Structure 1
Amino acid sequence: MKLRRSLLCGLAATFLISAAPLAQAQSQSQSQSTPQGQAYPTRLIRFVVPYPPGGPLDAIARMLAEKMREGLGQQVIVDNRPGAGGNLGADMVAKSPPDGYTIVMGAVATHAINPTLFAKMPYDPVRDFAPVSLVASVPNVLVINTEIAARHNIATLPDLVRYAKAHPAQLNFASGGNGSAGHLAGELFKSMAKVSMVHIPYAGAAPAQLGLLAGQTDLMFDNLASASQNIRAGKLKALAVTTARRAESVPELPTVAEAGRDYGLAGFDINTWFGVLAPAKTPAPIVEKLNAEIRHALQSADVRERMAKLGAEPSPTSPEQFGALIQAELKKYAAVVKASGAKVD
C-alpha cells in the first residue's frame, strides 16, 4: 500500500510540474487574445474621415493620426470616405468590428444634426458608437460684407438686429446648404432675435463665401478658420462669434450671446465640433487607451500651434463627457432643424 501511495504521489507531482508551463502559456495566450486592451494594437488602425480631404477636420485628423502613431507604435491611416453629409463614412465605422482597428472622426453634423435632418439614417448616433474623446471645437463667426455693412451703417451686432427689425426680409444670409451648421445658426439667430432674413443656400461653404465676397449675399455664419483671412484683409466685417465663450484666436470679438443679450440672444451657442468614436461594444480598455493617446497628442505644443492656425481649440474629454455632449447636442439641433424646416431626403 505504501509503495502504491508513493507511486501515485510521484505521478501526480510529475503531472503538476509538466502541466505548469502549459497552463502558464495558455494563460498568456488568452490574456493577449482576449479584448482586454493589453496587446492592442498589433496592426494598423484605420481612421475614417467622413469628408473630402482639406478643411480643419481633415487636417486635424491627420495631425492626430501622426501623433497617435508614435504613441501606439502602429500605423494610423486616415481614410477619407465622404458622402451623404458625412453619413457614409460614419456608417462604415458603425458597422465595423468593435476591435479598435476602425475609428471615425465624427462631427456635429454626423452625430447631432443629420439624425433630424435626414429622413432616413443608416445608423443610430448613440446606440451604434462608443465615444472616445471630443477633439476640437471650431468657433463660427457672424460676418457681413464690408460694403453692405457700410451702406446700411452696420458696425455691431445690435446694429444688425435693429436694421433687420426695421427692414424685414430685406437682408439675406448665405450658407453651405440646407441643414448646414451655417444655415442652422442663421435660423436660430432669426428665431431668438425675432427678425426675418432670407436664407440663400449654396452647394458648399466655399461657394457661399465667394458669393458673400462678391456681394451676392449680405452676411454669413462662417467657420472662423475659413473667414479669418478675409476678415484680416478687410473684405468681411466680423460682428461676433457664435460660441458660448470668446474664441482664443480673436479674444476681442464678442460672442453673439454677449453682444445680443438685450435682443433676445442670451444663451446663443452654435459651434462646429468633432471627436473620435469607435463602433459600439468596443472593449473599455481599448477606448481608454485611445482616449489617453488623443489627450497626449492634444497636449503637444506643435499640435496646439497648428490647430490655432486653423482656428480650432483643443477640447479633449473623457468618453463619458463626450457621450453626454452628443446627447445634449442631439436635443438642441433637433429643435433647431425642426424650426428651420430643413430636410434632406
Structure 2
Amino acid sequence: MKTVGIIGGSGYTGGELLRLVLNHPALELNFVYSTTRPGFAISDTHPDLLGTTSMNFTDQVNLEVDVVFLCLGHGNSSKFLEQKRFSDQTIIIDLSNDFRLSSDSEFMGRKFIYGLPELNKEAIEQTNAIANPGCFATAIQLALLPLAKENKLSNSVHINATTGSTGAGVGLSATAHFSWRNNNVSWYKPFTHQHLGEINETIETLQGSKPQIHFLPHRGDFTRGIFATAYTSYQGTLEEAKELYKNYYANDPFTHVSEQEISLKQVINSNNCFIHLHLHEGTLLVTSVIDNLIKGASGQAIQNLNLIFGWEEKLGLNLKGSTF
C-alpha cells in the first residue's frame, strides 16, 4: 500500500480525489491538509463519505508520504512546495496550472511531466512529478491529437465547449448562483481561456507547427461534464479519419471512438473520453465528451499515478457511469 496525502481536499476536485483514493485497492489515505477546516470531519464537507472514512482534515503535513496530490488554486502549488519540502522519493501530482507549460516545468530540482497519458505515457512512467492537464485542455487535446500527430491540422480550428458549474469551483460568484445558472447558458473568456497555452504547446510540439485555434468556452446549466466540438478542414474520407483515431487510441483504455453520435451523460462519473467524427463537405467535426472532475482532473491524476507505479492503468478507475 502506498501512502497518500492530499493538499486542499475541501473543493470539488479534492472531494472527487478523496473518493478515488479511499476506494483504490493500492492506496492508503494518510492525511488531508486544509487551512480552513482543520479538525473538522471530512464527511461534514463531503457528506457522501459518511461511513467511508472517519478522518478529519488537518493542518499538519507528513513530508514522507509516498504520494502527494496538490488540489490548490492556480498559483498556490509552487508557493506551498517552497514552504513544505517533501522527500525526494515522494511523488508529486499537481492539479493546478503552475507547472503545465514547458517554461514552468522545472521547479526545485524536479521536472514536471505534462500528465496527459494519451500523449506522454512513456515519460509519465519514468517521472516523480506530474502537471495534471486542465479539464478543457483534456477534452480538446483528445479531440485533436490524432490529427496533429499526422500533421493534418493545416488550417484554423474552431472549438466550442460547454462545462458544468463544478468547473468554476466551490467559491461563490454571481454566475455560479443557482438562480443565475439554472435554465441559462453563456460564454466567457472568448478566445483567451487559460487552457489555450497548454493546448497550443502540445499541438505545436506534436505537429511541428501551430494552427490558429479559436476557442469559445460556455457555461452550462448542469453540474458536471464537458461537451466539446472542434471542426477544421480535412482532406480525406470519414473512414480514413475514423481509422486514424482508432489507431491512435488503440492502446488507451479510457479514450474510445464511437460510431454513434455521443452525449454528455455517457461519460459522467467515469474516467472515459468518448469521441465522435462527422465529415461534411471537407470539414471534419470532432465531438469529445468527458467528466470534468474525473478524466478532466482527479481521475486522470490517479491514471497518471497508476502509470508511475507500473500498475494496471485502470486500477481503481473502473467506475460506474449512469446514463439516466
Please classify the TM superposition score into its range, dividing by the shorter chain length: 0.3 to 0.5
TM-score (norm 1): 0.31
Higher relative contact order (CA 8 A, sep 6+): 1
Structure number with the higher helix fraction is: 1
TM-score, reference length from structure 2: 0.33
